Amino acid sequence: MARGDAEFVEFAKAASARLVHAAFLMTGDHHQAEDAAQTALVRTYASWSRVHDDDAYGYARRTLVNHLVDGWRRPMREYPTDEVPEQRRDDVADDVATRRWLITILGALSPRERAIVVLRYYFDLPEAQVARELAVSVGTVKSTSSRALEKLRTAAPRTADERARR
Amino acid sequence: MSELERLRQAMRATERPDAVLDLDTVLRQGRRLRTRRRVAGAGAATLATGLAAVVVVAVGTSGPRDLAPTEHPPPVAVAPPSVGASPWAEKSPGSTPPPTAGRDEPPPKPLGQFVDSGVRHGADRRIYYFVPVSLPAAPKVTIGLAAGRQSPDGSLTTDLLVNDVEGADRRAGFHQIGYDESSSTAPVPTFGYFVGPAQQITGTVDGRQVHARLARWSLDKQVVIFWFEPAVLTPGDRLDGIIARDATGRRL
C-alpha cells in the first residue's frame, strides 16, 4: 500500500464513526448514513493528494453535508429502534429513548435546518463557518438556528414528560 | 439542562464508535473517480475540422443534477460552417475587431454577441458564443454553445461546442455542461447555459461550492451563459451538482 493510501486509511478509520453519525443525524437512516459517509470518503480519497496536508476532515465533512443536502428528497421517517450498540451503555432503554427523541425533533426540521443544527451543535462549528460550508449567509444560519431551536423547545416538553413517567 | 445542551448531549451520546465502512471499496471507487477526473471525457468524440473542433454531447433525461461523466461516445453532429458578421456588441469594451476565419476552415457562424469570459490564454481571450446546429433527429435543437479563443488580430478558434441532441434547446433549466477534454495549453473553463431567470449559479465539486460567472445571451435574455473561472474550478474537473437561484435566492 502506498504511503498516501496508508495515511488515508488511518484517516478514514478515525473519521468514519463521526461522519456516519453526522449523516445519521441528518437522515435518520443508518443505511443511507453509511452510504453517504462512504461517498464522502471516496471523494476525499480521490482528492487526497491535495487535501491530506490541509484539513482532510473538514473536506470530508463538507463533502458529506453537501452530498446530503443536494440529494435530499425525502423527510426523516425511520426510527432507530434496532441495532442499539451494547458497549458504553448501561441502559439500553434509555439509549433507545434518547435516540428516538433525537430523531423525532430532528425530523421536525427541514433538511437545511438539520444540516445547520448538525454543523453547529454536533461539529461545534462557528456560525460563519457553517455559512461558508452551506453557501448561505450568516444571517440565514442565525435565523435558521433560531427557528430550529424554537421547534426543539416545542418538541422537548412532551418527550421530557415521557421520560419523567418512565 | 437547557434543550440545547440536551440536544448536544443526545447527539454525542448516540454516536456509534463501532461504525465500520468498507474501506477497500472506498479505495477502489476513489481510484476510479480520480482516474475519471484525470482522463476527463476519454470517450468523448471530437471532430477536428481544421481549426474547429465540434463536440456534441447527449443530454440525459435525468436532468442537470445528474452530472456523471460520459461513459460512452456521444452522438456527433456538425454545426453548419460559415462565416458570419461581427457578433460583438457595439458597446463591447475596447475596439474589438470582428472575428474572421483564421485558416482554411471557417468557424461556425456565431449567433448574437460573444461573451468575453475575462480568461486569457496568452494574447488570446476565451470567449463563449452560440452557433447554429442542425440535427435531423432533434428539430427543436437549433443552437449550441461554443467555447473559443479570439486572437488579437480577430481570428477565431473554436475549441469546444456542446448542444442538446434531443428535446428543445430552450427548455427551462440546465443544458449540457462543457468540460475541457484535451488538457491542451488552452484548457476550456467549464461552461454551459441555463434557460430561466438565474441570477446565481453554484456548482459543487468534492463538497466545495463554486460560483459561476454569468452573462445573458444578446438574442434571448432568458438564456444565461455561465462559466467557472479556472481558479475556482480546474478545467476538466467534473461537477458533482449544480443549482441556479433567482434574484430572491429561490432555487430554480
3-state SS of B61-79? Answer: CCCCCCCCCCCCCCCCCCC
Name which of A9, A11, A41 to mutate to probe chain B: the one with the most chain B Cβ atoms within 10 A of its Cβ.
A41
A34, A63, A85 member nearest B206 (Cβ): A63
Task: State the average pLDDT for chain A.
Answer: 77
B162 DSSP β-pair partners: B145
- Asked if A15 contacts A57 with a C-beta cutoff of 8 angstroms, the reply is yes
Q: How far apart are CA B157 and CA B185, in angstroms?
A: 13
Cα radius of gyration rounded to whole Å, chain A: 17
Cell of B194: 441555463
Identify the pLDDT of residue B77: 35
| Mean pLDDT over the full length of chain B | 71
Give me the residues paired with residue B200 across strands: B245
Residues A130 and A21: their CA atoms lie apart, in Å, by 18
Inspect the interface and report whether the beta carbons of B16 and A17 lie closer than 8 Å.
Answer: yes
Q: Tell me the residues of chain B between 214 and 243 that have a Cβ less than 8 Å away from chain A.
A: 240-241, 243
Ramachandran region of residue A128, left (φ > 0), alpha (ψ -120 to 50) or beta? alpha
- From the candidates A18, A24, A27, A45, which should be mutated to test the interface with B, based on the most B CB atoms within 10 A? A45
Count Cβ atoms within 10 A of the Cβ of residue A55 and give its class: 0-12 exposed, 13-18 middle, 19 or more buried: exposed
> Taking 90 as the threshold, does the pLDDT of residue B197 lie above it?
yes
More confident residue, A118 or B67: A118
Tell me what pLDDT residue B76 has: 33
Write out the three cell numbers for B55: 463536440
Give the pLDDT score at A103: 82
Query: Is 60 exceeded by the pLDDT of residue B54?
Result: no
pLDDT at residue B214 in the model: 96
At B59, the amino acid letter reads V
| Burial class, A138, CB count within 10 angstroms (exposed 0-12 / middle 13-18 / buried 19+) | middle
Q: What is the pLDDT of residues B9-45, one digit of tens each?
A: 888 888 877 777 888 889 888 887 776 655 433 333 2
Q: What pairing do the DSSP bridges indicate for beta strands B191-195 and B200-205?
A: unpaired
Beta strand pairing status for B52-54 and B220-227? unpaired
The answer to whether the CB atoms of A122 and B4 lie below 8 A apart is: no
Name the percent of chain A lying above pLDDT 70.
74
Range B37-64 average pLDDT:
34
Residue B76 has which C-alpha cell?
A: 456527433
Position B78 confidence tier, pLDDT thresholds 50, 70, 90: very low
Are A67 and B18 in contact (CB < 8 Å)? no
A-B contacts (CB, under 8 Å): 125
Mean pLDDT of the B173-202 span: 86
pTM reported for the whole predicted model? 0.48
Chain A positions touching B29 (Cβ under 8 A) are: 42
Q: Report B:152-171 residues touching A (Cβ under 8 A).
A: none
A16 near A41, Cβ under 8 Å? yes
pLDDT, residue A1, reads 58
Asked whether residue A76 carries a pLDDT value surpassing 70, the answer given is no
Tell me the sheet residues that pair with B227: B191, B213
Give me the pLDDT at residue A16, please.
93
Rounded to 5 degrees, φ, ψ at A48 are -60, -35
Contacts of B2 in chain A (CB under 8 A): none
- In the predicted structure, residue B251 carries a pLDDT above the cut 80: yes
Mean pLDDT within B64-82: 33
The answer to whether B180 and B187 have CB atoms below 8 angstroms apart is yes
Are the C-beta atoms of A144 and A113 separated by less than 8 Å? Answer: yes
Quick check: B79 pLDDT over 50? no
Chain A residues touching residue B38 (CB < 8 angstroms): none
Q: What is the enclosing helix (H) or strand (E) of B242?
A: strand B241-245
Mutate: best of B1, B2, B5, B7, partner A, most A CBs <10 A: B7
pLDDT tens track for B115-163: 999 998 888 899 999 998 887 777 888 999 999 888 888 888 888 888 8
Q: A113-163 pLDDT, tens per residue? A: 888 999 999 999 999 999 888 877 888 889 888 887 887 777 655 454 455
Dihedral over alpha carbons A155, A156, A162, A163 (to 10 degrees): 150
| Cβ contact B20–A70 (<8 Å) | no
* A26: its cell numbers: 441528518
Q: Which residue of B has its CA nearest to A149?
A: B4
Q: How confident is the model at residue A6 (pLDDT cuts 50, 70, 90)?
A: confident
Q: What is the pLDDT of residue B93?
A: 32
Q: Where are the beta strands (DSSP E) in B24-176?
A: 47-49, 52-54, 100-101, 111-121, 124-132, 143-150, 155-162, 173-174
- At B38 the pLDDT is 53
Contacts of A115 in chain B (CB under 8 A): none
Cβ contact, residue pair A59, B12, below 8 Å: no
User: Which residue from B minimizes the CA distance to A14?
Assistant: B17
Q: Is B38 on the interface with A (CB under 8 A)?
A: no
- Check if the beta carbon of residue B173 is closer than 8 Å to that of residue B196: yes
pLDDT value of residue B28 = 86
Between residues B22 and A97, the one the model is more confident about:
B22
- State whether residue B39 sits within 8 Å of chain A by CB: no
Type of residue at B211: H
Q: Name the residue of chain A whose CA is nearest to B12's CA.
A: A122
Q: How far apart are CA A38 and CA A15, in angstroms?
A: 11
Residue B106 or B198, more confident: B198
Q: What pLDDT is stored for residue B182 in this prediction?
A: 61
Residue B184, pLDDT score: 62
Closest CA to B106 of B125, B131, B88, B89: B131
Compare A10 and B86 and report the one with higher pLDDT: A10
The CA-based angle A89-A95-A96, given to 5 degrees, is 140
More confident residue, A12 or B157: A12
Quick check: B226 pLDDT over 90? yes
